[in-house]
Amino acid sequence: MPKIIATVIIWMMLYFGLHAQVLPQEIDRQKAALSVASNDTARLNILVQLSYGYRFSNIDSALHYTEQAIKIAKKINSLSQQAQMLSLKGATLLESGRLPESLQYQFEALNIGEEIKDTSATAFALNRIGNVYMELGDYAKANDYYFLSESQFRSIRDTGMMHNELSNIGNIYALMNKPDSALYYQHIVYNASKITDDRNKYTRAEIMFRMGNAYQLNNDYSKALSFYKQGIVEATIDNDLRNLSMTNLSIADLYLKLKNQDSAMKYARLALDAAQIITFRKGIREAYLRISEMYKQNDEYAKAYTFLVAADVERDSLTGTDRLRELQQIILQDQERQRLERTQQIAEKNNRKQMLLLAGAFVFIVLASILYYNNRQKQAANKVLEQSLTKLKATQAQLIQSEKMASLGELTTGIAHEIQNPLNFVNNFSEINAELMSELVDEVDKGNTAEVKSIAADIKQNLDKINHHGKRADAIVKGMLEHSRKSEGKKEPTDLNALSDEFLRLSYHGLRAKEKSFKADFHTDFDSNLPKAEVIPQDIGRVLLNLINNAFYAVNEKSKSEHTPSTYQPTVKVSTAQFPPHEGEVAYIELIVSDNGPGIPDSIKDKIFQPFFTTKPTGQGTGLGLSLSYDIVKAHGGELRVESKEGEGTLFSIQLPLKP
């Protein structure tokens, strides 16, 4: 009997902790109670409250108390409470941007909930798996889980969480740009929250800012702003920094639409401050992006670039290549678990059906039924396999996009090195002119006309140099913006000589910026009569950047080897040529990137274009560069070939067809 009463108490505490923040004075009271708790059940009760109390205000503390709660739940063998706290830990990890770990804990909680037939634990795990898919941008999959979770909460009459799921569904429709559906679901939740004064039942800050989002999507900016302001009040009352950050971001977006940049910048920075306090990575990244965009609109490109780089760092922590690999592995493992469970269920059913064969007279009917059933199961399994392959392709597409962004990062490193030189000239000559102006004033006071003219001539000469180097910096910035813009997939006439020369120099300076001791020669041999080719410049640029980076990496590694002669001079060469039609083939252009590095062993030549194959040390290469380059060249109707001799060097040839 005491054990039953304790379980009921914990469930009540879990319920009230799930919907709202605990006030700071209440947290202090609970921490004091924890220090004098007399048994594990009492300690677990308090740890649960502290875990939920810190969830949206201090992620590190929330994880600390959640981990303690999980240990005690395991110790007293409470699977239900263990599932709930595993799910909460996953939800808290999601707030800090650790998607793979979050998804893994949710699947673990879901398995326990299904095993012990705990509807509440199962519903929470389904809800939070939906949250992960929402952060990944797979909105259809997210809503699938939200509808499943809403059905489970409805079955146990948990109206608070049922409405929470309806709010999530409405939020997904907003993200899918469906204004009517978004406003419909948010109104259901908002109206339900007005019926009760119980702050534990509904997360009011989230309700207000989602109502604001729905009205903003419907272009009713006045109502949207009114709900956002109320959301700030509710978040402040609950010490809910996560929803405070999201609300301020939404207000910033609204003011951007209203062309009020000062207010937009103010609220974007408030959103960033709130998100940084609790390491809410999604909020941090979104705030960085808003601030970068506003600086870009004001032509403050240096500041815009700084915040864009910071946003990319946060993005990589959320959905970088390594994170996506981990997610892919977790999803595939869960699918394999489900397949094994289905296989086991089928085997058990077949065993029961085989027993019926002993009945004698019905042996042929039973056998026919088993064959029919197995055929249906095979079709269902094939359907599941097709769905798994579709998800795998989608994940691979995200990995490829991450590789593209990595190439862009290497490109901008070179650009940053290039732009520093003219900026140094501008700064130096500006400082000299300031000193000359002071001297000029002194000479004017003295009436020394000849010296005044001499100083004025120096100032004019310096201004000419400032203007010259300013234009250099301007050209580099414009080039950076051109290369950073998203490829629209449109082919256009392109000077491949100029493109090759530009990426050769950017690659070299990028490597020099990373490793000051690196030195290498690079040469070009361009066909001066080379016609322009119809290509997608951004894509062919990525191919060139990848091949040239690999060439510099190879000669650099060879120069570091203790077996390399002291006379060795690392060299990379890029050349172009055109070839006329031959025996029914079309004319084509050939771009060649060659080096005198260590070469490629014959044993791995056949593998270098395979996805994820790399010879670089762990952490220095994803193994997608050459695979992606191969696919880009193929998409242009061309060929990417390699020739290499171990110990002497490597040559990559890109052959692109010319239009007849």
- Best mean pLDDT range from 13-22, 374-383, 401-410: 374-383
Say which amino acid occupies 629.
Answer: S
410 pLDDT above the threshold of 60: no
- Is the distance from CB of 517 to CB of 537 less than 8 angstroms? no
In sequence order, what DSSP letters do the residues of 631-653 get, joined into one string? HHHHHTT-EEEEEEETTTEEEEE
Q: Position of tokens 């795998």?
A: 392
What's this model's pTM, rounded to 2 decimal places? 0.45
25 to each of 51, 129, 291, how far by Cα in Å? 15, 32, 35
pLDDT at 222: 92
Range with lowest mean pLDDT among 18-32, 189-203, 396-410? 396-410
Average pLDDT over residues 420-438: 81
Residue 323: its H or E element: helix 321-356
Q: Position of tokens 């095993």?
A: 115
Residue 143: its H or E element: helix 139-155
pLDDT at 4: 36
Q: What percent of the chain has pLDDT over 90?
A: 18
Query: Which residues are within 8 A (CB) of 312 and not within 5 positions of it... i.e. 6 or more apart?
Result: 405, 409
pLDDT at 223: 92
Tokens of 296: 């870009």
**Distance between CA 187 and CA 505 in Å, rounded?**
57
Average pLDDT over residues 444-457: 85
Phi and psi angles of residue 572, each rounded to the nearest 5 degrees, phi first: -125, 135
- Is the distance from CB of 49 to CB of 19 less than 8 angstroms? no
11 pLDDT above the threshold of 50: no
- Best mean pLDDT range from 217-221, 315-319, 329-333, 602-606: 217-221
For residue 521, the cross-strand partners are: 571
User: Could you report the per-residue pLDDT of 37-56, keeping only the tens digit for each?
Assistant: 888 888 888 888 888 877 76
- How many other CB atoms are found less than 10 A from the CB of residue 588? 20
14 pLDDT above the threshold of 80: no
Range with lowest mean pLDDT among 5-19, 268-282, 401-415, 541-555? 5-19
- How many other CB atoms are found less than 10 A from the CB of residue 566? 4
Tokens of 533: 């080719």
DSSP state, residue 576: E
Average pLDDT value over all residues in the chain: 80
Tokens of 569: 């001079």
User: Could you report the per-residue pLDDT of 219-274, keeping only the tens digit for each?
Assistant: 999 999 999 999 899 888 888 888 898 899 999 999 988 899 889 899 989 988 98
- Is the distance from CB of 267 to CB of 258 less than 8 angstroms? no
- How many other CB atoms are found less than 10 A from the CB of residue 434? 10
- How many other CB atoms are found less than 10 A from the CB of residue 405? 14
Query: Which residues are within 8 A (CB) of 35 and not within 5 positions of it... i.e. 6 or more apart?
Result: none
pLDDT at 351: 57
pLDDT at 247: 92
Tokens of 545: 């950047």
**Distance between CA 448 and CA 437 in Å, rounded?**
14
User: Could you report the per-residue pLDDT of 113-168, keeping only the tens digit for each?
Assistant: 989 999 999 999 999 899 888 888 888 888 899 999 999 999 999 988 899 899 99
For domain 2-202, give the CATH number: 1.25.40.10
Average pLDDT over residues 572-595: 87
pLDDT at 249: 92
Range with lowest mean pLDDT among 226-230, 361-365, 512-516, 525-529? 361-365
For residue 571, the cross-strand partners are: 521
CA-nearest of 64, 83, 77, 13 to 42 is: 13
Tokens of 489: 């997939």
pLDDT at 335: 55
**Distance between CA 546 and CA 626 in Å, rounded?**
7
Please indicate whether residue 382 or residue 146 has the higher confidence score (pLDDT).
Answer: 146
340 pLDDT above the threshold of 60: no
pLDDT at 37: 81
| Residue 595 three-state SS | strand
Q: At what angle do helices 2-19 and 79-95 cross, to 10 degrees?
A: 20
Query: Which residues are within 8 A (CB) of 603 and not within 5 positions of it... i.e. 6 or more apart?
Result: none
DSSP state, residue 532: P
Average pLDDT over residues 194-204: 81
Sheet with 571-579, edge to edge strand ranges: 521-525, 571-579, 588-595, 649-657, 639-645
- How many other CB atoms are found less than 10 A from the CB of residue 383? 10
| Residue 644 three-state SS | strand
Average pLDDT over residues 8-32: 55
pLDDT at 357: 59
pLDDT at 155: 92
Residue 331 pLDDT level (bands cut at 50, 70, 90): low
- Is the distance from CB of 610 to CB of 603 less than 8 angstroms? no
| Residue 494 three-state SS | strand
pLDDT at 12: 38
pLDDT at 6: 39
pLDDT at 226: 92
- Angle at CA 357, nearest 5°, toward 352 and 363? 135
pLDDT at 132: 85
- Is the distance from CB of 420 to CB of 469 less than 8 angstroms? no
**Distance between CA 221 and CA 251 in Å, rounded?**
10
190 pLDDT above the threshold of 50: yes
Counting Cβ atoms within 10 Å, is residue 97 exposed (0-12), middle (13-18) or buried (19+)? buried
Q: How far apart are the first and last CA of the chain?
A: 88
Range with lowest mean pLDDT among 372-386, 488-502, 510-524, 609-623? 609-623
pLDDT at 322: 52
pLDDT at 577: 93
User: Could you report the per-residue pLDDT of 586-635, keeping only the tens digit for each?
Assistant: 888 999 999 999 998 888 878 887 776 677 765 565 556 787 888 889 88
Say which amino acid occupies 371.
Answer: L
CA-nearest of 655, 413, 479, 644 to 551 is: 644
213 pLDDT above the threshold of 80: yes
Beta strand 492-494 pairing with 649-657: unpaired
| Residue 495 three-state SS | coil
Q: Is 78 left (phi over 0), alpha (psi -120 to 50) or beta?
A: beta
- How many other CB atoms are found less than 10 A from the CB of residue 176? 13
**Distance between CA 584 and CA 587 in Å, rounded?**
10
- Angle at CA 617, nearest 5°, toward 568 and 559? 10
pLDDT at 497: 93
Residue 321 pLDDT level (bands cut at 50, 70, 90): very low
In sequence order, what DSSP letters do the residues of 339-385 get, joined into one string? HHHHHHHHHHHHHHHHHHGGGSTTHHHHHHHHHHHHHHHHHHHHHHH
Q: What percent of the chain has pLDDT over 70?
A: 80
For domain 492-657, give the CATH number: 3.30.565.10
pLDDT at 360: 65
Say which amino acid occupies 574.
Answer: V
Domain ranges of the chain: 2-202, 492-657
